[in-house]
Amino acid sequence: MQNTLTSTWQNKVRKFAAQSEASGELHPEILDLAYKENWFKLFVPQIYGGAGKKLPEILHLEEELAEADGSLGWTVTLCAGAAWFAGFLDQELAKEIFSEREVCFAGSGAVGGTAVQMESGYLINGHWKYASGALHATVFTANCTIKKVDGTDLLDEDGNPEVISFILKKNEVEILSGWSYFGLIATGSHAFEVKDLLVPVNRTFKINSDIKVADQGFDYPFLQLAETTLAVNSLGMGRHFIRLVEDSFFARSGLSRYNDEQVAFFTSELNGCKTEVESLRNQFYTTFDQSWDQLIQNGSIQEDQLQMVSRISRKLAHACRRAADTLFPYGGLEAAKKESEINRVWRDIHTASQHALLTFEN
């Protein structure tokens, strides 16, 4: 397996990963690195000062980030993914928001609030959970059900309650500490809420339906964008764990008590996990690249191709978790020590696996 932890930024991330976990948020040195590298603006068009990268390149980078540190990879993925909404924002609003060097989006895909339609905008109340990067976010995105002044639902063209996404500013929300889970601790994925907040109309948006910039990729379906970016996080963490457990097994003080047959059995288990993960990694990138090529060449992606992207994303994520479970017993007590790197990676993998989009393999 290729060792990607060799360049300067990877070494810095690895140096501060444990400190990030201890503080419950990304270390200031890592945040500064993220700002310098424009990681929180990966999807943001260059006209707004963003990195202007495209999804094929971003997926590989997010895999590397997650391999260096799961919390960093997850935070960048979720925050940069929320900033993908730049392509659908009012252009003057986008210029204002992204003029800040340290702009960072956080938010929730859940419909956690209501917005009453007023003459001057929308009156919002709501509570949203799991906003990765909340502690350093400058912008929050939130989905709301739209209500009329009389309290009844505003219905869309299909007769369902209308849902609109909103841009909220840091000083308009209250962060509610509640990220008490055993992995991805440094993501600081806390909840947030707003009460009786009046938001102007220009801070609403709808994804995939009203693209405001002439740039490639904003018409890639959001479901598959989310699935692929989450999958590469599991992939990066999975590859990291496999490498760590291999090193840990052969460094065990009691290694000499194992006979040749036992060592061969571990080696077989290890190689089986490596082979499955690397094979699915290749299939994943091939399948995704085919979907991207269809979009760029034809302006749309065939439905069966999108279904293949969804399936391979979940298969890859599940394979990485299975590899971690299969190999965990061979890591010795170091793997069970909560302060160790290998234990942190194992916890991160299993926390990431709880995302609703990754729950079922088929």
Residues 316 and 236 in one domain: yes
Encode the chain (362 residues) as per-residue pLDDT tens digits: 444 444 689 999 999 999 999 999 999 999 999 999 999 999 999 999 888 899 999 999 999 999 999 999 999 999 999 999 999 999 999 999 999 989 999 999 899 999 999 999 999 999 999 999 999 999 999 999 999 999 999 998 889 999 999 999 999 999 999 899 999 999 999 999 999 999 999 999 988 777 888 677 889 999 999 999 999 999 999 999 999 999 999 998 889 999 999 999 999 999 999 999 999 999 999 999 999 999 999 999 999 999 999 999 999 999 999 999 999 999 999 999 999 999 999 999 999 999 999 999 98
Q: Which of 62, 88, 114 is the last residue of a domain?
A: 88
Residue 152 within any structural domain of the chain: yes
Domain boundary among 88, 118, 145: 88
Residue 333 domain-assigned?
A: yes
226 and 354 share a domain? yes
Query: Based on the domain organization, do 131 and 167 belong to the same domain?
Result: yes
**CATH number of the domain encompassing residue 329:** 1.20.140.10
- Cα distances from 26 to residues 63, 70, 74, 76, 136, in angstroms, run 18, 11, 11, 10, 9
Instruction: Look up the CATH number of the domain holding residue 147.
Output: 2.40.110.10
Tokens encoding 332: 């010795």
Which domain covers residue 124, as residue numbers? Answer: 104-205
Whether 199 and 111 map to the same domain: the answer is yes
Question: What is the domain count for the chain?
Answer: 3
CA–chain centroid gap for 328, Å, is 24
Contacts of 28 (CB under 8 A, 6+ apart): none
Identify whether residues 236 and 108 lie together within a single domain: no
| Residues 239, 113 share a domain | no
Residues 265 and 354 in one domain: yes
**Cβ contact 104:31 at 8 Å:** no
Domain boundary (88, 116, 148) is at 88
Query: What are the phi and psi torsion angles at 164 (to 5°)?
Result: -130, 145
Q: Do 147 and 251 reside in the same domain of the chain?
A: no
Taking the model in full, what pTM does it have? Answer: 0.94
* CB-based contact 192:173 (threshold 8 Å): yes
Report if residue 126 sits inside a domain.
Answer: yes
Say if residue 226 is in the same domain as residue 260.
Answer: yes
CA 360 to chain centre: 18
Q: Are 115 and 147 in contact (CB under 8 A)?
A: yes
Predicted confidence (pLDDT) per residue in 144-184, tens digit:
999 999 999 999 888 999 999 999 999 999 999 989 999 99
Residues 36 and 126 in one domain: no
d(CA 241, CA 323): 9
Same domain (yes/no): 238, 351:
yes
Cα distances (Å, whole numbers) of residue 128 to 189, 225, 304, 354: 11, 21, 33, 17
